[in-house]
Amino acid sequence: MNTNPSQNNRVLSGMRPTGKLHLGHLHGVLHNWLELQHTHECFFFVADWHALTTEYDNTQIISKSVTEMVVDWLSAGVSPSAATLFIQSHVPEHAELHLLLSMITPLGWLERVPTYKDQQEKLKGKDLATYGFLGYPLLQSADILAYKAGNVPVGEDQVAHVELTREVARRFNYIYGKESDFEEKAKLAISKMGKKNAKLYREHRKRFQEKGDPEALEVAQALLESQQNISIGDKERLFGYLEGEGKIILPEPQALLTKASKMPGLDGQKMSKSYNNTISLREEAELVEKKIRTMPTDPARVKRTDPGNPEKCPVWQFHEIYSSEDTRSWVKEGCTTAGIGCIECKQPVIDAVELELQPIRERAIEYLEDEATVQSIIKEGCEEARDVARDTLDDVREAIGLS
Ligand code: TRP
Ligand code: SF4
């Protein structure tokens, strides 16, 4: 297990700056972030180094997209007072931790991560047999562990990366969490909790270790959680001592699976830049209208009088996201009886997408006209993030013996 509940609540996630955000991002990742920012301590960052692993020969797209991406987040409603927004390359601790973790990461662990081969296969035109690309998931581990984040909202394809992070954290704790006098230090720390709490801790630890009772573990963790008199180092020791290992320096994170975005593209395939079927978050109203008007429909509806089947039509998938019951019955009825034409059918979708995008576009214009505000949000976020990451690196260096 090797978790440390005190950090469990922190959320960290990143996005690679490789182009404009679109409705797929909004309905997948961003809506999820908007909820999390009110319930958890959140760190969201622009993963520019990760973008560099594939765009090393096309860095313009990265530099162009970094600020744009933050503007998109803000315009979509990510709040700088609720979440810390920052840029990966402005927090060099990520790189230092990546390097240190690389020393204990077996090559095989990285070679076995499915995205390694998949992406090389998919991006055939690029040489991705690089050191940096192999290390992609380990850099991601460093991102997560630098904040001791307990929760990592990611899509299905990234779960393996969080899994790797757990293994690397476990190995780190196993190798560096063992102090020669660990047991003595743990016992001393217990006594600092006061008689009653020390007794409770010992009893529950015993019950967990002898009988594997998970409830006993939880009670003991909660007890530790509430202790005010003991240092953070002692707490880490006692979290580790509970499960019989060494000190827990890097807690294992969990993946918070983001439901796959149901947002289809204009052609009915998944919305994605590489399919050229997107509506961007800042798409002009006229272009939104034009793109939806020219969407393909059920091919059976050649003439206005030919009936169709919504199940065979990408426009219907938009209705499923944007339209009320009433509108949807109107579509079903009208389509299958040729009672309505496709242009008519598309109008409510055009209106709904426009209603969704208009406030985002307006906020984006405001932010773009006020570059200084955006820059100061980023600057503050980077400083906040760096403070946390610095503390972690202090712990890490000390555990390794580099301080
Ligand atoms: N690899 C992630 C993606 O492509 C982006 C990312 C980088 C990330 N570092 C992260 C996501 C840390 C979560 C946590 O989507
Ligand atoms: Fe698609 Fe609507 Fe045309 Fe039917 S009427 S084919 S659902 S656009």
Q: pLDDT per residue over 333-384, tens digit each?
A: 999 999 999 999 999 999 999 999 999 999 999 999 999 999 999 999 999 9
Instruction: Report residue 257: phi and psi, to 5°.
Output: -70, 120
What separation in Å is there between the alpha carbon of 37 and the centre of ligand 1? 17
Query: In testing the pocket of ligand 2, which one of 298, 303, 347 has its CB within 8 Å of the most ligand atoms?
Result: 298
C-alpha distances (whole Å) from 307 to each of 104, 301, 313 are: 63, 6, 12
Q: Confirm if 14 and 44 have CB atoms less than 8 A apart.
A: yes
What separation in Å is there between the alpha carbon of 331 and the centre of ligand 2? 7
pLDDT at 4: 54
pLDDT at 398: 94
- Map out the domains of the chain with their CATH numbers: 5-177+371-400 (3.40.50.620), 182-242 (no CATH), 282-368 (1.10.240.10)
Give the Cα separation of 142 and 102 in Å (integer).
Answer: 10
Supply the residue whose CA is at minimum distance from atom 8 of ligand 2.
342
Percent of the chain at pLDDT above 70?
A: 98
> Which contacts of 61-67 are long-range, i.e. CB under 8 A and separated by 24 or more positions?
61/17, 61/18, 61/19, 62/17, 62/18, 65/17, 65/18, 65/19, 65/20, 66/17, 67/374, 67/375, 67/378
| pTM for the predicted model, two decimal places | 0.88
pLDDT at 403: 82
Burial 288-314 (b: 16+ CB within 10 A, else e): bbebbeebebbeebeeeeeebebeebb
| Strand locations in 228-313 (E) | 254-257
Q: Which residues line ligand 1 (CB under 6 A)?
A: 12-16, 47, 50, 140, 143-144, 152, 154, 158
pLDDT at 5: 52
75-88 residue pLDDT tens: 999 999 999 999 99
Ligand nearest to the CA of 333: 2
What separation in Å is there between the alpha carbon of 115 and the centre of ligand 1? 12
What separation in Å is there between the alpha carbon of 239 and the centre of ligand 2? 59
Per-residue pLDDT of the chain (403 residues; tens, 9 = 90+): 445 555 579 999 999 999 999 999 999 999 999 999 999 999 999 999 999 999 999 999 999 999 999 999 999 999 999 999 999 999 999 999 999 999 999 999 999 999 999 999 999 989 999 999 999 999 999 999 999 999 999 988 899 999 999 999 999 999 999 877 888 899 999 999 999 999 999 999 999 988 888 899 999 999 999 998 899 889 989 999 998 778 899 999 999 988 877 789 999 999 999 899 999 999 999 999 999 999 999 999 999 999 999 999 999 999 999 999 999 999 999 999 999 999 999 999 999 999 999 999 999 999 999 999 999 999 999 999 999 999 999 999 999 999 8
Percent of the chain at pLDDT above 90?
A: 87
